[in-house]
Amino acid sequence: MGGSLSLVPVLDYFARRECLGAGLRQNAVTLPYPDGGAGATCTIQYWAPQGEPQLPPLLLVHGFGPRAAWQWRCQVGPLSPHFHVIVPDLLGFGGSSYPFETAPPPTEATQAAVLAALLDALPGMEGRRVAVAGTSYGGFVAYWLARAAGAARVGPVVIASSDLLKTAADDRAFLKRAGEGWGGVDDILLPAEPAALRKLLELASYRLPPRLMTPDFLLRDFIQKLFTENRERLVHILKGITVGTDKFQVTPISQEVLIVWGDHDQLFPVEKAFAVQRALNGSARLEVIKKTGHAPQLEDPARFNKVMLDFLTASHKPDPSANPSSQ
């Protein structure tokens, strides 16, 4: 009987409840797919308040893994009184889809272009200046969106646990930290067995749940629902990542930037936070959150939310060019 127990629907329920409690509603929009040729489309599922923004808009971009609502569930409530919060599933994650059978894998530039199109498609959002926060893979996308769209479209930027400077050497160091027995980074990032998921949790978390609370059958269920059922699509997305190549060059951007990192992050060690700060000409503000790993927004949401709110409320003011009736 134990093998039939699944926590995935339970976690999905709590994430949805947080979004609904914050006044967000789930919706989807069909948009042109930039890399798919004439007539190709994609679907973006997102959470957002109904109607036109009454507060400064804020886009939350999730990382590689579970759907957006899971990764930002501890932020939507505290942020929604201050911002018009928009939480999309990136292409290939959650309820968002693209023609991966026929189209090339989406790069960070592709994801950013689709997010820009999403913003223009939302009520009262066309041309509105929006703050952007991205975690991990979502930080790659957030940075690209800010650089491509410019400061007139994208305001302050939060880069959380996101090594914009990742290289092949960093992948080798990651495998060394993981120990022997792994053929590549994908073996851990896309776990197929409970041992791989445990290793991923170990490297990503500061506080691991007791092993008795994570029996193999529960981990297999997570793997089946979050990775196995979407494996072909997730592998496709991994192939599209351009960080560490000539296609993704990190240069300073004109927006104000906050970098947030967990001091025990073993996926992207904290020293990379200082390297990213230097690559942005040292002008970015850096906050290291103690006793957290790769997801400080989940391990210490109170501290993460305070840091983020302090930064955004000081730098993300209502857009003076917006329609006064939507202020």
DSSP 53-110: -SS-EEEEE--SSS-HHHHTTTTHHHHTTTSEEEEEPPTTSTT-B--TTTSPPP-HHH
301 has a pLDDT exceeding 50: yes
| Separation between Cα atoms, residue 294 and residue 265, nearest integer Å | 5
**pLDDT for the residue numbered 148:** 96
Distances in whole angstroms, Cα of residue 136 to Cα of each of 6, 218, 234? 26, 25, 15
Q: What burial class does residue 198 get, using C-beta atoms within 10 Å of its C-beta: 0-12 exposed, 13-18 middle, 19+ buried? A: middle
Total of domains in the chain: 1
**Mean pLDDT, the chain, whole residue set:** 91
Residue with tokens 């790993």: 293
Token representation of residue 64: 């590689």
User: Crossing angle of helices 194-204/216-223, nearest 10°?
Assistant: 90
In a domain, residue 121? The reply is yes
In a domain, residue 274? The reply is yes
In a domain, residue 47? The reply is yes
Q: Which residues contact 41 (CB under 8 A, 6 or more apart)?
A: 30, 31, 32, 33, 99
17 has a pLDDT exceeding 80: yes
**pLDDT for the residue numbered 322:** 55
Give me the domain span that covers residue 292: 18-166+249-315
| Separation between Cα atoms, residue 218 and residue 84, nearest integer Å | 36
**pLDDT for the residue numbered 3:** 47
DSSP-assigned letter for residue 152: T
3-class DSSP state of 52: coil
Q: What share of the chain is helix, strand, coil (3-state, %, to 5)?
A: 40, 15, 45
Count of CB atoms within 10 A of residue 76's CB?
23
1 has a pLDDT exceeding 70: no
The CATH number linked to 109 is 3.40.50.1820
Task: Please give the full DSSP string across 108-135, using - where no structure is assigned.
Answer: HHHHHHHHHHHHHHSTT-TT--EEEEEE
**pLDDT for the residue numbered 117:** 96
In a domain, residue 79? The reply is yes
pLDDT tens-place string over residues 111-130: 999 999 999 999 999 889 99
In a domain, residue 65? The reply is yes
The order of strands in the sheet holding 25-32 is 25-32, 41-48, 84-88, 57-61, 130-135, 154-160, 257-262, 285-289
pLDDT tens-place string over residues 52-99: 999 999 999 999 988 999 999 999 999 999 999 999 999 999 999 999
**pLDDT for the residue numbered 324:** 41
Q: Which residues contact 227 (CB under 8 A, 6 or more apart)?
A: 190, 191, 192, 234
The half-sphere exposure of 12 on its side-chain side, counting CA atoms within 13 A, is: 11
**pLDDT for the residue numbered 2:** 44
**pLDDT for the residue numbered 35:** 79
**pLDDT for the residue numbered 318:** 61
Mean pLDDT calculated for residue range 243-249: 91
Indicate the pLDDT class of residue 327, thresholds 50, 70 and 90. Answer: very low
| Separation between Cα atoms, residue 190 and residue 188, nearest integer Å | 5
254 has a pLDDT exceeding 70: yes
Token representation of residue 148: 């491509």
Q: Which residues contact 172 (CB under 8 A, 6 or more apart)?
A: none
Q: Percent of the chain having pLDDT more than 70?
A: 94
In a domain, residue 191? The reply is no
Mean pLDDT calculated for residue range 11-33: 96
In a domain, residue 34? The reply is yes
pLDDT tens-place string over residues 196-213: 999 999 999 998 777 656
In a domain, residue 159? The reply is yes
